[in-house]
């Protein structure tokens, strides 16, 4: 990382909309405080070892060592987080960029990321921060307290705050503290997550988290092991179901479709069927175009025809809303009423126009669309 903070840009700036990225002076004004905090969700073991219960690895950590995420360390028998408030990336984004299409469409959200990840995906597009060592990279971050995060979101006219860019659960303590304050301030909250958190973690933040945008890369354990170094997707699915059923979170699912890897009809149909049966037919499914990156550069970008095939599979299975991602201008970006066929939300990239929406229903026929406004 070459600058004090990764300032994310958005396509909105190329579309003559208001400039949304945070000003460099404001970012530098956050300061360089380095903070470690006692972690949440862990237990003491013998010989000053600890077990972390934040994600489904449930790492057993020796003194002086870190968990799989690289940012939670056993400090002489006490688990600490190394990245509390350490912001690597920040932007005011359209909520559609997460992507969340049925959650306060057209609004802007203050988006924050830190360092580290509990996945090690070979095609990670944010590997510079996800695989970063906080011991050497923290100087490239800025400290932002939860209070200042909320103040910045409100000062920038955002309706909510999202933790994204890297896996949000790795700085769980910070996101929890911020989510509590966000709810008090009337801001919505969103996780953009790989879904590998434990049920305990979800239940801890559940009262304060409103949107759960989860990656489901496939339903095959061998695939997950090869792509993300994770043994099985079973726990990911279970926690996503819990987010919806127990906590009433708004859930949307993203599948990055990788040619020759997870683009077969059987895999795509299985994901669509799980969404319909466990999350409901109204749950948006985003099938997004893969772009070669990191250690998976030999595979070409996903053909449009493959994404259109995935769209057809999703609708055949019974999903009401299937969207193509990373294909600006495609008609599938729009939200169309499944009952009367009228356009409800029109999108072009990150430009969103609400043209037929009334309190989460189709303004033409009154059909419930599952959209939170």
DSSP 214-265: EE---S-HHHHHHHHS-S-SHHHHHHHHHHHHTT--EEEEEEEE-TTTT-SH
Residues of the chain with CATH 3.80.30.10: 216-333
* pLDDT for the residue numbered 123: 67
Residue-wise burial string across 54-75, b where 16 or more C-beta atoms lie within 10 A, e elsewhere: bbbbbbebeeeebbbbbbbbbe
Structure tokens at 48: 């000053």
Of 117, 68, 120, the closest CA to residue 227 belongs to 120
Global model pTM greater than 0.75 = yes
Domain 216-333 fold is: pyruvate-formate lyase- activating enzyme (3.80.30)
* pLDDT for the residue numbered 4: 33
CB 356 within 8 Å of CB 324: no
* pLDDT for the residue numbered 3: 31
Task: Give the separation between CA 125 and CA 292, rounded to whole angstroms.
Answer: 9
Residue 124: CB atoms within 10 Å: 20
Q: What value, to the nearest 5°, has the Cα angle with vertex 206 and ends 205 and 209?
A: 85
pLDDT tens over the chain, length 373 residues: 333 343 343 333 333 333 335 655 465 555 555 578 999 999 999 999 999 999 999 999 999 999 999 999 999 999 999 999 999 999 999 999 999 999 999 999 999 999 989 987 776 676 577 767 777 765 578 899 999 999 999 999 999 999 999 999 999 999 999 999 999 999 999 999 999 999 999 999 999 999 999 999 988 878 788 877 888 899 999 999 999 999 999 999 999 999 988 899 999 999 999 999 999 999 999 999 987 765 666 788 899 999 999 999 999 999 999 999 988 888 889 999 999 999 999 999 889 999 999 999 999 999 999 999 9
**Farthest CA pair distance, the chain:** 66
Task: Give the separation between CA 73 and CA 81, rounded to whole angstroms.
Answer: 6
Task: Give the separation between CA 343 and CA 369, rounded to whole angstroms.
Answer: 12
Kindly give the residue spans of alpha helices, DSSP state H, lying in the chain.
Answer: 24-28, 127-130, 134-137, 146-155, 172-185, 199-205, 221-228, 234-245, 265-274, 304-317
* pLDDT for the residue numbered 127: 58
Instruction: Measure Cα distances from 298 to 156, 256, 259, 292, 304 in Å.
Output: 41, 16, 11, 7, 18
Task: Give the separation between CA 218 and CA 262, rounded to whole angstroms.
Answer: 7
Task: Give the separation between CA 228 and CA 124, rounded to whole angstroms.
Answer: 9
* pLDDT for the residue numbered 342: 96
Residue-wise burial string across 145-155, b where 16 or more C-beta atoms lie within 10 A, e elsewhere: bbebbbebbbe
Task: Give the separation between CA 234 and CA 236, rounded to whole angstroms.
Answer: 5
CB 83 within 8 Å of CB 129: no
Task: Give the separation between CA 84 and CA 327, rounded to whole angstroms.
Answer: 35
Structure tokens at 234: 């079973």
Contacts of 206 (CB under 8 A, 6+ apart): 243, 246, 247, 249
* pLDDT for the residue numbered 1: 30
């Amino acid at each position: 990382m070459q600058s004090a903070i990764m300032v994310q840009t958005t396509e909105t700036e190329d579309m003559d909309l208001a400039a949304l990225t945070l000003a460099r002076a404001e970012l530098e004004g956050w300061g360089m405080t380095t903070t470690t905090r006692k972690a949440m969700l862990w237990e003491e073991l013998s010989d000053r070892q600890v077990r972390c219960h934040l994600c489904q690895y449930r790492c057993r950590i020796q003194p002086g060592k870190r968990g799989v995420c690289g940012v939670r360390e056993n400090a002489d028998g006490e688990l600490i987080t190394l990245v509390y408030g350490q912001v690597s990336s920040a932007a005011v984004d359209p909520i559609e960029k997460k992507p969340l299409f049925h959650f306060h469409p057209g609004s802007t959200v203050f988006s924050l990321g830190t360092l580290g990840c509990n996945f090690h995906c070979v095609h990670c597009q944010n590997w510079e921060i996800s695989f970063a060592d906080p011991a050497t990279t923290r100087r490239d971050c800025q400290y932002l307290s939860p209070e200042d995060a909320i103040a910045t979101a409100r000062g920038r006219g955002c309706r909510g705050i999202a933790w994204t860019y890297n896996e949000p659960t790795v700085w769980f303590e910070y996101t929890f503290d911020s989510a509590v304050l966000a709810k008090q301030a009337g801001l919505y909250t969103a996780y953009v997550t790989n879904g590998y958190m434990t049920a305990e973690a979800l239940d801890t933040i559940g009262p304060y988290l409103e949107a759960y945008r989860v990656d489901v890369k496939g339903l095959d354990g061998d695939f997950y092991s090869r792509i993300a170094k994770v043994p099985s997707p079973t726990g990911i699915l279970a926690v996503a179901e819990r987010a919806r059923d127990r906590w009433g979170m708004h859930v949307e699912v993203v599948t990055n479709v990788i040619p020759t890897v997870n683009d077969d009809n059987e895999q795509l149909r299985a994901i669509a069927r799980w969404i319909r049966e466990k999350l409901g037919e109204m749950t948006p499914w985003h099938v997004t175009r893969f772009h070669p990156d990191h250690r998976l550069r030999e595979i070409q970008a996903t053909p449009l025809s493959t994404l259109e095939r995935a769209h057809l599979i999703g609708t055949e299975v019974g999903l009401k809303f299937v969207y193509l991602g990373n294909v600006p201008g495609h008609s599938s970006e729009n939200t169309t009423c499944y009952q009367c066929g009228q356009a409800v939300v029109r999108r072009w990239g990150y430009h969103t126009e609400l043209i037929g929406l009334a309190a989460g229903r189709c303004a033409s026929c009154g059909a419930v669309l599952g959209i939170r406004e």
